[in-house]
Structure 1
Amino acid sequence: MRNSIEYKVWGRYALFFNPIMRVGGEKCSYQVPTYQALKGITESIYWKPSITWYIDKVRIVNRISTQSIGVKTKKYRDSFKENDLSNYCYLRNVEYHVSAHFEFNKNRPDLQDDWNENKHHNIAKRVLSRGGRRDIFLGTRECQGYVEPFDFDEGVSFYENLSSIPLGTMVHGINYPDENMDSSFEIRLWQPEMEKGVIYFKRPEDIKTVRKIRKFRMKKFSQDNIQDVDDLYEEIFYEGE
């Protein structure tokens, strides 16, 4: 596919938890990564506000296994000096092959001069070969991940001989105002199936089950609301004199 990259991401632990269930304090991971989690990993490799990454598919390489770990969390209700003991259910020894591509963000016409396919594609491939520009996290910050260029079909998946595995209702991702023509903050839900270890993702606009959280206005940048760095420096350091 045009402007696409393929890579392998792996780590010792992963926690792709359902945000609806995080209110109780204990976290339990999905069996597989969500679209939004993989998009975040891809954006950690390379991101610019003028482009939007789309995840095409993911391959589950290792057997899905979990490990429950006791975590001491702050007890905010009664006393800040005490802790509660919660159980977090992590995925362990994970490896995924990801195929993604980018398109230009049409909600940012002010960055039209940066719509250069060859430039962004070459930079994305170069920084991927160096492990990405930012730290890679597999769902949460305590789950460190690592990436490298990799052929999507290379190797063998543990689920290679299984035709179809339904995964139930999962969070697909989040619609943010800067990438959503409706200018609202939304959560997408879907029911994926894993076919021979591969999950084929629908595009965000093709997801029909969407819950609107609230309305937001995307901030538009222009010369009227951009402050010169020299003026900002003087405002911070010389205002009190």
Structure 2
Amino acid sequence: MSGYREEDFLQLSGLQHFAFCRRQWALIHIEQQWQENLRTVEGDIFHRRAHNDQARERRGDVLILRGLSVSSPTLGISGQCDVVEFHADPDGVSLRGEDGLWFPFPIEYKRGAPKSHRADELQLCAQAMCLEEMLCCAVPEGALFYGETRRRTLVSFSEKLRETVRGMLEEMHQFYRRGHTPKVQRSKSCNACSLQALCLPALMKGTDVDAYLRQAMEAEP
């Protein structure tokens, strides 16, 4: 994959939307539509709490950075990591303003519980790939912290997971360049989607939002 210009970067967090539903991602990131529901509000509060503490904290041999900005010209994405723990390690990398060498371990905070799909793992893996490119080091694993279980779930960044990240990001860039919003592919996940009212999955199996709204307005007396 060739490098991307900064103005062509996509939001890293969009990878999770894309993995969950390509149409949801396009509605948010291409059509700029958004609608809150209880899950999105609770998730936003949960993430703000993760970032509310001081941005840099030292706990013995662990340096904790919150809200760390990351990017990758190779993948064409930018965003923030909820938390990155840097563990003192003789095989690590140097950090500005810190003595010694450090090994990064990204942690993403999620409101609910572990899911059956891999959207969360893909987002975390993309963060790790950004850190690798920025710091010139390997990041083999990280963790997802779920609010319901209050536990970390370890995630290994296998080559298969990395290939899925690369493939999805390439597809996202193609959709974005074309301004393409995929048609409805209804599933049980639609019931939990904050964009259900905008997407109208029960009515729009062969059209898009704009076409449906035009038809509705034309039908009005």
Name the TM-score class by shorter chain.
under 0.3
Larger-Rg structure:
1
If each structure's strand is expressed as a fraction of its own residues, which one has the higher value?
1
The structure with higher relative contact order (CA 8 Å, sep 6+) is 1
Question: TM-score scaled to structure 1, two decimals?
Answer: 0.22
Q: Which has the higher helix share?
A: 2
